[in-house]
Amino acid sequence: MIVPKPVMQESRPGTFVLDAGTSLAADPALSEVAAWLRGELAPVTGGELLPGPGTESGAIRLVLGELPPEAYRLSVGERVEIVAGGPAGAFYGAQTLRQLLPAAAYRKAPGGPLAVPGTYVEDAPRFAWRGCVLDVARHFLTKHEVLRFIDLMALHKLNVLHLHLTDDQGWRVEIRRYPRLTEVGAWRKESQTGWNGAMDGRPHGGYYTQDDLREVVAYAARRQITVVPEIDLPGHTQAAIAAYPELGNLDTPLEVRTTWGVGRNVLNVEDSTIAFFQNVLEEVLEIFPSPYVVLGGDECPKDQWKESPAAQRRIAELGLRDEEELQGWFMRQFGDFLAERGRRMVGWDEVLEGGPPPGAIIASWRGELGAVAAARRGHDVVNCPNTSVYFDYRQGPGEDEPVPFGTVLTLEDVYAFEPIPAELRGEPAARHVLGAQCGVWTELIDSGRRIDYMAFPRLAAFAETVWSSEDRDLPGFLRRLEEHLRRLDAIGVEYRRAEGPLPWQ
């Protein structure tokens, strides 16, 4: 049973057996997908699949056909044929083939006999943007943990990894021109353990070199995932200000922040600060070929600008109404900078308040009002309401739930999420909704194990909301999930059990 649910699936006669005699052939345009599949299946069959013409019985064949790029048709009988519109479709077809195998196919050891019942699948995604935000700023995740998360996203046919690389509590991307961003900004002396003010007394930190991130980008690309970097501006920047005090509004130096919640320390609006972050973006663009770059724009308190003579001078010079408009102007310095380089800015829904550049994509997180307003104003939208798809929120009401953050957001709640806001239904503006994005914010998630627990299996429910048809069938999903959890078990994902957390979680 396949997760996310495909458009159409039927049984067919025959059985395919995957073993050491299986061969694999692919159109040249699909050779990278074939190489990936070879790599995944080698430990399962105990050796590399043989090359072959692909037409004999016992063969797997990947062929290009007249289909949209992400669509595929999978036929399983004596042999397997995946017809796809392009590499993405072939990759999704191959992922589906793996799901048709017994769960043992997800172990890195031979687990035969691996029989696939005769099946025909026709499939294509509902939305083009099927994303997940991974916050590596509040708690650092090792490169290997990020790569593993990419594999888990790919298993669920998600295609955008939004990497939240910078925040008050840590700067995680090497910038060669400004080494203190990571020398100073990547480390904090301790962390708040929850919302009660207690501190853990343990230093925390880490960052990715540019080479690490190039590797992450290439690894993701091979799995049809675009890595979209976020450099959050002008709020959420205390780590950068700690490294380079001239970026801030105060005369007193700051430390990398150790507590959570919205911070008051924001960037100043000097020319030198704009130049600094344009230089930062220059390096970011070299690492990430993504057509999109997230510039943040969220949660920027205006107190320091109200008290800053320089900010007030800017407002007067530019004839702006207030600090909101000043933020709009500030964001446009970077939005235009990206546009000149052929990239598109993504901003959190707050950027609507200051007048975003026309081509900006809006990520609507404070419920769905931003999504509705942005789409009606002609902006493309990624819907990511914290009320439906924030995986830092607790998964059940129980006292033993380990991360007491936000309201309760159950697996069933996530499954019920509809990416097109009800208010936009039937309006032409609905076409601006590119898709949706779930989020793993990590203030209170301090390890890869906790990421597993918080993200799964809710991410499987989310995947159905962006990939599958809009008809929801909860009992059907829960039945399919039962089998899917065996795959996660085989991979070693420590997801949340339906009965609640395990004692150590």
Residues that bind ligand TNX in the complex, under the rule CB under 6 A = 135, 298-299, 348, 365, 386, 390, 392, 441, 443
Considering beta carbons, is residue 294 or 485 the nearer one to ligand TNX?
A: 294
Q: In whole angstroms, what is the distance from residue 1 CA to residue 406 CA?
A: 33
Catalytic site residue from 167, 298, 349, 464: 167
Toward ligand TNX, which CB reaches closer, 106 or 441? 441
Asked whether the beta carbons of 179 and 145 are under 8 A apart, the reply is: no
What is the closest distance, in whole angstroms, from the C-beta atom of residue 441 to ligand TNX in the complex?
A: 3
With CA atoms as reference, report the closest residue to 172 among 162, 183, 161, 186. 186
- What is d(CA 242, CA 234) in angstroms, rounded to the nearest whole number? 14
**CA 98 – CA 105 distance, rounded (Å):** 7
Distances (CA, A) of 42 to 45, 106, 428: 5, 11, 48
The helix-helix angle for 309-318 and 323-340 (nearest 10°) equals 70
Nearer to ligand TNX, 101 or 241 (CB): 241
Nearer of residues 82 and 363 to ligand TNX, judged by Cβ = 363
Q: Which is nearer to ligand TNX, 298 or 368 (CB)?
A: 298
Backbone angles phi, psi at 50, to 5 degrees: -75, 150
* 236: annotated active-site residue: yes
Which residue type does 36 have? Answer: W
Query: How far apart (Å, rounded) are the C-alpha atoms in residues 257 and 267?
Result: 14
- Both tokens of 1, joined, read 């049973």
Phi, psi of 390 (to 5 degrees): -95, 115
Which is nearer to ligand TNX, 139 or 314 (by Cβ)?
Answer: 139
Q: How far is the CB of 369 from ligand TNX (least distance, A)?
A: 14
In terms of phi and psi (left: phi > 0; alpha: psi -120 to 50; beta: otherwise), the region of 265 is beta
Which residue shows structure tokens 């793996």? 98
In Å, what is the CA distance from 301 to each residue of 42, 212, 304? 53, 33, 8
Q: Which is nearer to ligand TNX, 312 or 386 (CB)?
A: 386
3 state DSSP class of 131 = strand
Does residue 379 have an active-site annotation? no
Nearer to ligand TNX, 88 or 403 (CB): 403
Please identify which of the residues 204, 236, 432, 484 carries the catalytic annotation. 236
Least separation in angstroms between CB 229 and ligand TNX: 15
Q: How far is CA 132 from CA 152, 384, 436, 463, in A?
A: 11, 9, 8, 10
Nearest distance in Å: CB 257, ligand TNX: 12
Own/partner contacts of 478-487, CB < 8 Å, gap of 24 or more, are 479/1, 480/1, 480/2, 480/3, 480/5, 481/3, 481/457, 483/1, 483/103, 484/1, 484/3, 484/99, 484/457, 484/460, 485/457, 486/103, 487/99, 487/103, 487/106, 487/155
Q: Catalytic: which of 270, 283, 299, 489?
A: 299
- Cα–Cα dist 227/417, whole Å: 24
Residues 6+ apart with CB under 8 A from 220: 150, 161, 226, 227
Distance in angstroms (rounded) separating the CA atoms of residues 92 and 154: 8
> Minimum distance between the CB of residue 386 and ligand TNX, rounded to whole angstroms?
6
Cβ partners under 8 Å of residue 79, min gap 6: 16, 54, 55, 56, 57, 58, 59, 60, 61
What's the closest the beta carbon of residue 342 comes to ligand TNX, in angstroms? Answer: 25
Nearer to ligand TNX, 142 or 386 (CB): 386
Give catalytic residue positions.
167, 236, 299
